[in-house]
Structure 1
């Protein structure tokens, strides 16, 4: 019997199209993951028990991440509503306000996660702008990047360029002043209630805290602002020497920012 692997690629149940099989095999090759053929009508449970701790399942509609506790597939969720509000002329989105995003900006999102803030930033900077989003967790990157590739951005938005990378290492590779805004949404110390998918995010996301060293690299890369999201009743921002920006007293999220150093 082959040993279990942490993560593998497989196909949805039923008879997949040849193009679907080819896409799954090529993705497994690119991500350096084993591809597990799946027999017709074979349940997911036995594969998770015998072959892999988690599975990236290629379906006609996209990619779903499965583990023994549940599943997660890409959904724009609140980002869709936030984008609709921006398109209607409302300018009360906290990310846009704190980061002072404007048309043509280049934004580096160092914590892609579910892709929500990256989608909002993509609309804010428009088709002349650029949004690059980093995700260290291969499982989350696989699901969200595939979802972003298929997302209908519309003519008023640029596309999100997702990269599987460690934020600190990627920042060190960038020239000084190469982005207008650098953004972080690190995993909160204390879990908070959120939309479906957040518990899956918590299980697979990178849990290392944002360090002062990474923040300084971000300042070197940022021309204007480094923006950090934190939890209201935590020391997330204070540990980095950041003061929270004024905002609604009803929200559980706070924001801090520091000027870029270039």
Structure 2
């Protein structure tokens, strides 16, 4: 009998051969076991016996399952934010604080659900670049597959998602490699959220952003290091950052520092 694993790859119940091949190749790249799924076998049963969580390849989607819920990539609010920007609105907080410009190179050190990376990809445009790092393999697998299938349109660059630790990746870069380096670490105090964010919280990297990583980011950034935080926490203050002026009606605050 196979021993239970923390994370594995499987497919929908009646997969076509091409889908099985795709799942097999992904499992190889991610160094995860591929556990075949019998035709009528429920994921819930497989979670009882084979793995704590599954990355499930389906015909139209890639999803993450555990005993508490399921998550698949969706552009969500990022799509609405992109539509507003395309219509000429410039009041997006991330855009304003980061002072994003066409042609910028942006390093998103905390990909998460991909929301801010998608916004950045539109603002920097096809001559720009957005590289997004995610340390959690489970989240990286689902979100990176979703970003590959996303219809960016001709006005965007594509988001380059990488499975990497931000601190180690920053250390590997030459100074001044990106215009903007961005962090959206997990908040100290969880706020009420939708199921996708609950899934994010279960699988995300929870280690706090450190001063050492911030210094590496300052070395790499040509213009700004931007950090998102929670209004009623010490998230930014612990890093020596002051909150930028913003709306009184949001629970999110932003800090930034120059190189």
Do Structure 1 and Structure 2 share a fold, with TM-score over 0.5? yes
State the partner residue of 2:8: 8
Counterpart check, 1:81 vs 2:80: yes
Where in structure 2 are there 5+ consecutive unaligned residues? none
- Aligned twin of 1:256: 255
Q: 1: CA distance between counterparts of 2:197 and 2:190? A: 9
Alignment of 1:61 with 2:44, yes or no, is no
Per-residue displacement from partner, 1:135-158 (whole Å, max 9, x unpaired)? Answer: 000000000000000000011111
Give 2:166's aligned residue: 167
Query: What's 1:181 paired with?
Result: 180
Match of 1:148 in 2: 147
**Alpha-carbon displacement from aligned partner over 1:127-182 (angstroms, at most 9, x marks no partner):** 00000000000000000000000000011111000000000000000010000000
Distance in 2 of aligned mates of 1:228 and 1:4: 38
1:129 — aligned with what?
Answer: 128
Return the alpha-carbon distance in structure 2 between the equivalents of residues 240 and 111 of structure 1: 17
Q: Secondary structure at the match of 2:170?
A: helix
Note the C-alpha offset of 1:35. Answer: 0.3
Secondary structure at the residue paired with 2:195? Answer: coil
Distance in 1, Cα, partners of 2:59 & 2:91: 36
**Change in 2 beyond 3 A, CA 1:86/1:195:** farther
Matched with 1:241 is 240
SS at match of 1:256: strand
1-structure distance, mates of 2:192, 2:80: 18
**SS at 1:197's partner residue?**
helix
SS in 1 for 2:55: strand
* 3-state SS of paired residue (2:56): strand
How big is the shift at 1:92? 0.2
TM superposition shift of 1:252? 0.2
Residue 18 of structure 1 and its aligned partner are, at CA, apart by 1.2
Paired residues in the alignment total 259
Secondary structure at 1:8 match in 2: strand
Displacement after TM superposition at 1:193 (Å): 2.3
Q: Which runs of 4+ in 1 moved over 6 A?
A: none
Deviations 1:176-199 (A, max 9, x none): 000000000000001112343000
